Structure 1
Amino acid sequence: MSLPVSPDESVETRRIGVFLAVAYGVAWATGLTIYATGGLVDSPELLPGLGITLATVLLPTAYMFAPAVGTVVTRLATGEGWANLGVRPRFRPSWRTYALAWFVPALLTLVGAAVYFAVFSATFDPELTAFTEAVRAASGGELPLDPWTLVAIQLVAAVTIAPLINALFAFGEELGWRGYLLPKLLPLGRRQATLVVGLVWGAWHWPLIAMGYNYGFSYPGAPWTGFLAMCWFTLTTGVFLAWVTLKSESVWPAAIAHGAINAVAAIGALFVAGQPNPLLGPTPLGVVGGVGWTVLAAWLLWRSEVFTASPPLAETAGEVTGDATTAEMR
């Protein structure tokens, strides 16, 4: 992925406009289809008895791949070509970045959940009552294993195989947001570009939030406060996703990190008692549950050379430092 080497380069507004029109158009049209056919709750079953509904098919395909479609359509419509897609894995020089992308989401999710339950201790249920009842209902009344064992299995899966599996679906978003839109906005400055992409990514989720995805319907100020909470979540996590993309010059670390976030985000909710405010936590989509992401985002924006180097270090080539060349790391 080629990155701009001069802050004086102009922002390609026409291509950005085409990309956003397609990325939002395809996704929001998919959201409208889901809403018109029963929403997320009453979506028609495609395979009766297996829980596979129209919504569960459209969300990871048409909705999540809308930014990738936007990338392809924009390149075709504007004659941009296929250079600098950012799809080369570049694993060998960037393996440390891949490792961080894989494991940091789980660490920050657990930290956020711990902070949330420390602040709102009355909502913590070590007996896993709600989770146990849900498992019993799904299994016909019998628990296949101890609830804590089931949680441990989920956590192990979330830090081993799940990030890779989820990355295949998250790739559709990352090819668009971090692979196409972020480089197009870099003439604004790396910090500014990263924050703009985070907000654009958050607003893109709004039709789903309006249908109760992530936060439900019972929180104060729904759905408007849910819109804001989602933007805060994408703003903070988006800094890390931009960081691993710029550091590796590949969208794959961001896809893996995105997949890891999706894999582990709900762990804290298994320990919840009652009906806490989802805008606060315990998942990282809440302001308190996401405190780890907020701290990391602030540190990266103000301390990491990926965002602070001036002039842009993509001008420098050939020095090998750490797991990448100097140009790659910055």
Structure 2
Amino acid sequence: MSLRSLISIYIVVSFGLALILDLILYNSLMTGGPYNPQNALMSSLAAMVWGLLRMYAPTAATALCLHLEGRSIRESIKRYVNFSRRTIKHFLLAPLIVYLAFGIFLLLSAVLGVLSIEKFVRIAVKESGGLINEDFARILLIAQLIVGYPAAITINSIYALGEEIGWRGYLFDLMGRKDDLRSTVVIGFIWGLWHSTAIVLLGHNYPSIRAAGIPLFTIMCIVFTTSMLRLTAISSSILPAVSLHGAINAIWGMTLFVAFPGEMVPNSLDEIYGGLGLIGIFSWLITAAIVLLATKKR
């Protein structure tokens, strides 16, 4: 089969499965009835199951494409994962890239005059109903950053593995395993658009600017992919990309709560300019440049 045909089948299956899951969750949320603790718990559990199944849609698409090619699904995925000493080293180091990006985000936000650690403090106190004070909220911020690392390499990696088998595994294979600009743009573009139905239907990451969130997150995914493909290439495994992906999911969302002090909750201002908007994109562009320079072949 041609490269174009395989990519087309992969897109149809992975996007189609994601859309079905998004519609199921959307319908569940719309018919959940009035708010009560039981409904809130069920919605939370449904979202967790949705997230797990959705993140394995690329794995299902990969399995089908491998089958159509006549390649062993088991052996191919085993090759994508490829455990080795180098792999484990990069797997454990990769989440630190997110901490670097987070630090750059804080620095850029401070320079632009929109940094507000106290915003997180106010939100934490308000959401707790007054059960915690501002001093404890500051400790909680530090604790969340610390806990982000073990979460990235454990539970979040289990979730992220489902996506990475597809994006940095199968699609990277189709692109000739070259971590060049073409591979980065193609894989990142497809990855970003794959989130579009979740953004539009569920407000995923962009509840206030759903339509505009699609191009913003697509650009974000292209920038994320720069570091992910480099780690995959130098380790010959998707595992470093898995832990990096897991760290993004564990830590990066906090950027929505540490900028734009006039807003008590993330809204369109945060979404356009914050951690998943323009400042976030520039933060990751700088981070990607550092990663590429640090891993440049000599």
Secondary structure class of the residue paired with 2:154? helix
Structure 1 segments unaligned to the other structure (5+ residues): 1-9, 307-320, 322-330
Counterpart AA for 1:270: F
Q: Which amino acid aligns with 1:212?
A: G
Partners in 1 of 2:33 and 2:67 — Cα distance?
34
1:279 and 2:271 are equivalent in the alignment: yes
Change (3 A) 1:13 1:161: same
* Alignment length (residue pairs): 288
More helix as a share of residues: 2
Aligned residue in 2 for 1:6: none
Change (3 A) 1:20 1:300: same
Partner of 1:318: none
Amino acid at match of 2:250: A
Structure 1 residue 175, shift from structure 2 partner: 0.4
Distance 2:33 2:113 in 1: 34
Conserved 8 A contact 2:198-2:204: yes
Q: CA RMSD in A?
A: 3.1
Counterpart Cα distance in 1 of 2:181 and 2:65 = 24
The equivalent position to 2:157 in structure 1, one of 161, 167, 172, is 167
Query: Which of 70, 75, 92 is residue 66 of structure 2 equivalent to?
Result: 75
Question: Where does residue 203 of structure 1 map in the other structure?
Answer: 193
The alignment status of 1:64 with 2:51, answered yes or no, reads no
Match of 2:114 in 1: 121
State the distance in 2 between where 1:242 and 1:112 align: 22
TM-score, normalising length from structure 2? Answer: 0.84
Deviation at 1:260, TM superposition (A): 0.6
Aligned-partner SS, 1:186 = coil
Quote the offset at 1:121 in angstroms: 3.0
- SS of equivalent to 1:128: helix
- How far off is 1:230 after superposition? 0.3
User: Structure 1 residues 71 and 102, CA, compared in 2 at 3 Å: closer, same or farther?
Assistant: same
Partners of 2:57 and 2:169 lie apart in 1 by 13
Give the 3-state SS of the residue equivalent to 1:160 in structure 2: helix
1:302 Cα deviation after fit: 8.3
Provide the residue aligned with 1:326 in structure 2: none
Deviation at 1:32, TM superposition (A): 1.9
Question: Identity across aligned pairs (percent)?
Answer: 23
Alpha-carbon distance, 1:117 to partner: 3.8
**Among 153, 156, 170, the residue aligned to 2:146:** 156
1:110 alignment partner in structure 2? 103
Partner of 2:225: 238
- Quote the residue 1:143 is aligned against: 132
Partner Cα separation in structure 1 for residue 123 and residue 152 of structure 2: 23
User: Is it true that 1:84 corresponds to 2:76 in the alignment?
Assistant: yes
| Aligned CA distance change for structure 1 residues 52 and 252 (closer, same or farther; 3 Å) | farther
Q: Kindly report which structure 2 residues correspond to 1:203-222, keeping only aligned pairs within 5 A, or say none.
A: 203-210=193-200, 211-217=202-208, 222=209
* Rounded Cα–Cα distance in structure 2 between residues aligned with 1:175 and 1:187: 13
145-154 vs 253-262, which deviates more? 145-154
Asked if structure 1 preserves the Cα contact closer than 8 Å seen for 2:52 and 2:159, the reply is yes
| Structure 1 Cα separation of the partners of residues 84 and 115 of structure 2 | 45
